[in-house]
């Protein structure tokens, strides 16, 4: 009878250990997959943010160029309608001066806008890298917790008898 109880205890303990090992493996796999999914989602969100920023920058550049063209046309029209200009040479000189001034002003505006866009893109990239680093740290902590739980479960195993 004692031998039979010992054999059943051994079989029961092996079965419980086997089930616990499978459960640990499944939980480990779940944590790993969860980490991968979260990382992919974050990378996807970062790509969307970058695309949105690019669309905004393109729209602002387009609006600025349209406003510059409108301003240039209005100034040229004002010169052509100016009654105080007596001859064609004077009118052409004023148009050239205006074009020169506008070109310089417009280039400066475009340069400022480009620098602003670069700065915004760098800030977004920096924030995204910080988020990704934070996620990686959290993933490592989750993996470490699973490893510790696995070690504790291994230490807690012993033969058990259920009556």
> Over 80: is that where the pLDDT of 157 sits?
no
Distance in angstroms (rounded) separating the CA atoms of residues 115 and 108: 11
Distance in angstroms (rounded) separating the CA atoms of residues 35 and 31: 6
Lowest mean pLDDT among 32-41, 61-70, 78-87: 78-87
Residue 82 — very low, low, confident or very high, per pLDDT cuts 50/70/90? Answer: confident
Three-point CA angle 84, 86, 91, nearest 5°: 90
Q: Count CA atoms closer than 13 A to 12's CA, side-chain side.
A: 12
Interval 55-81 mean pLDDT: 93
Interval 114-123 mean pLDDT: 97
Tens digits of residue pLDDT in 18-35: 898 899 899 999 999 999
Q: Which residues make Cβ contacts (< 8 Å) with residue 161, sequence separation at least 6?
A: 5, 8, 9, 12
Rg, Å, the chain Cα set: 36
Task: Write down the domain spans for the chain.
Answer: 1-156
Q: Which residues make Cβ contacts (< 8 Å) with residue 71, sequence separation at least 6?
A: 102
């Amino acid at each position: 009878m004692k031998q039979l109880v010992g054999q059943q205890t051994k079989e029961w303990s092996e079965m419980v250990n086997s089930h616990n090992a499978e459960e640990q493996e499944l939980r480990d796999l779940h944590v790993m997959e969860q980490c991968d999914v979260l990382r992919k989602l974050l990378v996807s969100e970062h790509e969307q943010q970058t695309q949105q920023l690019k669309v905004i920058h393109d729209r602002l550049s387009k609006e600025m160029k349209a406003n510059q063209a409108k301003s240039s046309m209005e100034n040229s029209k004002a010169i052509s309608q100016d009654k105080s200009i007596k001859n064609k040479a004077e009118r052409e000189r004023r148009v050239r001066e205006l074009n020169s001034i506008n070109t310089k002003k417009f280039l400066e505006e475009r340069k400022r806008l480009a620098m602003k866009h670069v700065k915004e893109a760098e800030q977004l990239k920096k924030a995204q890298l910080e988020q990704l680093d934070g996620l990686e740290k959290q993933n490592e902590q989750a993996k470490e917790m699973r490893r510790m739980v696995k070690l504790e479960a291994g230490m807690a195993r012993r033969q058990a008898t259920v009556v």
